[in-house]
Chain A
Amino acid sequence: MSGFTWWLRDSWEMVKRNLIHIKRTPELLLDVTISPIMFVLLFSFVFGGAINVGSEGGEDASYINFLMAGIFVQTVAFAGIYTGVLLANDLQKGMIDRFRSLPMSQSSVLTGRTLTDLMRAALAVAIMWIVGMLVGFRPEGGIVGNLAAVGLMLLFGFALSWVGVAAGALVRTPEAPAGHHIRRRIPADVRQQRVRPDGDHAGLDEGLCRTSADDPCRQRGARPDPRHRPVCGRATVGRLVRGNPDGGLSRRPVALQPTDHPVGQAGVAGSSTSRFSRRPMRSTSITTVCPTSMAATPCGVPVMIRSPGSSRVKRLMYSIR
């Protein structure tokens, strides 16, 4: 057999191992089965009513058509979330040493992982497609277009699961990578406007915020009380970031850094965040942090604001509890 055939065979052996893990620990599938269904239902029924998609949602201007693309990408990106954890676990338990001392193709340990993620992502897409159709999702791309879309999504998920592999190989404990993943994913969600259309967000902002002149969130330089209408604080962050002259802490675009854990703040202020914080973000997309992070982390996502180029870091933390 040639080297490539062996590599395929060894990778398949690793995939088989991962599939047995899934069979014995079905919880490993929750994030690609139950979660996407919940996302679809949550956004389409809970937030959908408050959002006017305008002309962007296609001819019938339905929010679900707009939403599905975002949820697809988000879930597919999430499909690799365990990769880092499981890999770090294998490293710690000595499994990787075992594999490395075998005459197998060494890279297949990793390809086995990412191929498994690909299968998970495919499962998630299939489930969501069906659920989406049930609640009114009507893709307009035709067979070729839809297949291409699925292919692109899976490719994206596959690429991200390699990022998970890198995280798993770099961190020292199996617990760490999941946090990394969330930290990476949420800012990405925010920037990509996966769940909120660009355009008229007044409805959402005002609806959640019930804006009034004496709203403490809107007073210049005021530190909002996190207990006071936290969602309002978050929506206001969106305005601040858009450079709203009426009530911002900074006129310059500032970056937004959600973290999944208060302890993570230490890291946020340090180098690991520079990727996001140095880059001024496109202003209009930021409001989406509100629904996304609420949905993604039920315990709440602290948000930090930071002025780029300034040594003074303004830290404002909001939590949704």
Chain B
Amino acid sequence: MIEAVGLHKSFGETHALAGLDLDVKEGTILCVLGPNGAGKTTAVRIFTTLTHPDKGSATVAGIDVLRHPAEVRAKIGVAGQYAALDELLTGRENLQMVGRLYRVDARTAKKRADDLLVHFELTDAADRTVKTYSGGMRRRLDLGAALMAQPPVIFLDEPTTGLDPKGRLSMWDLIAELARGGTTVLMTTQYLEEADRLADDIAVIDHGRVIARGTADELKRQVGGERLEITISDTLRVAEARRVLEALGEGPAFVDAEGRRLSVAVASHDGVLTRAIRELDTADVHVDDIGFRRPTLDEVFLSLTGRPAEETAPIEEITA
């Protein structure tokens, strides 16, 4: 349904895309996962006819994006990183305007706008200007605008960036529901949890090309082995804990954002647990929890790229 072959795009010296290949099957969700600057947004802009690639080709719903951009536009819905809504128009007016610009006839546009407002729980705010909306409401309305023409293909560029946990959960539900209804979704994200939860397929990209591809399970298997995970009680001791773990296991230790949970890949279970406890005790690190488990996508990303997906991912209400 969506296909890209050998996409290249450079901005001056920066190579945003360096031979990106992607394909998404009908009715599935592909998560494009990568850190900031990996080329995610550039890829979406090419698919949505906003940017021309320097090299390579792309098709959406079987239509060549470069040769027939106007036809592609009729088949896609786009919701961007920054909700592109008119602040001075009400939620309802925004939806109806986009609907009519999709060349849906006025009556249908009106009806669909009403349905979407109900469905996205925006009925109460429907006749308020978007200026007064919260970040989560804007994103929902933005997604609603993308759905006004009921397009078969939807592109979502970081649909939950900047949302609070509640807003994120409600976006996830809406996206999952879309795919169940047969819509093909390509979404980008920095959040591995999001990809893990929503995606049928994940493409990890870095420096403008796909570095790993598969389902969440496949990717986790690709990293291999099990991991030893500990939770420490004093975050100030995280450096010592990390040193101990890295001596025990293989490769770098992964530390979560709070600095409480650490994990490291281990080759076997043999005696690792007792050694870990003993050495942590010697290093004066108090452990709340310890055990083996399968790797998370964060760790997959770390071992694929040699760096965490995102150093800090602050959760804040978006204001723009």
Binding site for B on A (CB under 8 A): 6, 9-10, 13, 16-17, 20-21, 24-25, 93-95, 97-104
Using known A-B contacts A20-B89, A24-B88, A101-B78, determine if residue A13 contacts B73 with beta carbons closer than 8 Å. no
| A residues near B101, Cβ cutoff 8 Å | 10, 13, 99, 102-104
Minimal beta-carbon separation of B185 from chain A (angstroms)? 16
Closest to B44 in A: A101
- Tell me whether A97 and B98 are in contact in the complex, defined as CB-CB below 8 angstroms, given that A6-B103, A103-B70 are known contacts: no
Instruction: Tell me whether B78 and A98 are in contact (CB under 8 A).
Output: yes
Is the CB–CB distance between B86 and A17 below 8 Å? yes
Q: Which residues of A contact B150 (CB under 8 A)?
A: none
With contacts A17-B89, A101-B76, A102-B98 taken as known, whether A94 is within 8 angstroms of B84 at the C-beta atoms is: yes
8 extra A-B contacts, CB within 8 A, seeds A98-B80, A103-B74, A103-B102? A13-B97, A20-B93, A93-B82, A95-B85, A98-B84, A101-B48, A101-B73, A104-B101
Known: A17-B86, A103-B73, A104-B103. A97 touches B80 (CB 8 A): yes
Give chain A's interface secondary structure class. helix
User: B98: which A residues are within 8 A, CB to CB?
Assistant: 98, 102
B88 contact from A20, A98, A99, A102, Cβ within 8 A? A20
Shortest 9 CB-CB contacts between residues of A and residues of B = A98-B84, A94-B84, A103-B74, A103-B73, A104-B101, A101-B78, A101-B48, A102-B101, A24-B88
Pairwise interchain contact B49-A100, C-beta atoms closer than 8 A: yes
Beyond A20-B93, A103-B102, A104-B103, whether A97 also contacts B84 by CB under 8 A is yes
B68-108 Cβ-contact flags toward A at 8 Å (1 or 0): 00110110101010111111110001000110111100000
- Say whether, besides A94-B82, A98-B145, A103 and B103 are in contact (CB < 8 Å): yes
Q: Cα distance A10–B101 when bound, in Å?
A: 6
Residue of A nearest to B47 (CB): A101
Chain B contacts for A13, CB-based, 8 A = 97, 100-101
Q: Answer yes or no: B320 CB below 8 A from chain A CBs.
A: yes
A17 CA to B87 CA, complexed, in Å:
11
The answer to whether A97 touches B50 (Cβ under 8 A) is yes
* Chain A residues, Cβ within 8 Å of B76: 101
Contact code string B37-72 (vs A, CB < 8 Å = 1, else 0): 000000000001110000000000000000000110
Q: Is A102 touching B73 in the complex (CB atoms < 8 A)?
A: yes
**Smallest Cβ-Cβ distance to B131: which chain A residue:** A24
Interface residue? B129 (CB, 8 A): yes
A7 to chain B, nearest CB (A): 12
Instruction: List, sorted by A's number, 28 A–B pairs whose CB atoms are closer than 8 Å.
Output: A9-B100, A13-B100, A16-B97, A17-B86, A24-B129, A93-B84, A94-B80, A94-B84, A95-B84, A95-B86, A97-B78, A97-B84, A98-B98, A98-B145, A99-B101, A100-B50, A101-B49, A101-B50, A101-B73, A101-B76, A101-B78, A102-B73, A102-B101, A102-B102, A103-B70, A103-B73, A104-B101, A104-B102
| A20 nearest CB neighbor, chain B only | B89
A133 to chain B, nearest CB (A): 35
B98's nearest neighbour on chain A, judged by CB, is A102
Q: Which chain A residues lie closer than 8 Å to B49 at the CB level? A: 100-101
CB distance from B317 to the nearest CB of A (A): 17
Chain B contacts for A98, CB-based, 8 A: 78, 80, 84-85, 98, 145
CA distance A23 to B80 in the complex (A): 28
A93 and B85 alpha carbons, distance in the complex (Å): 8
Cα–Cα, bound, A97→B85 (Å): 11
A10–B93 alpha-carbon span in the complex (Å): 15
A99 to B70: give the CA distance in the assembly, Å.
12
* Nearest CB of chain B from residue A65's CB, rounded to whole Å: 41
Residues of A within 8 A of B100 (CB): 9, 13
Which residues of chain B come closer than 8 Å to A24, judged between CB atoms? 88, 129
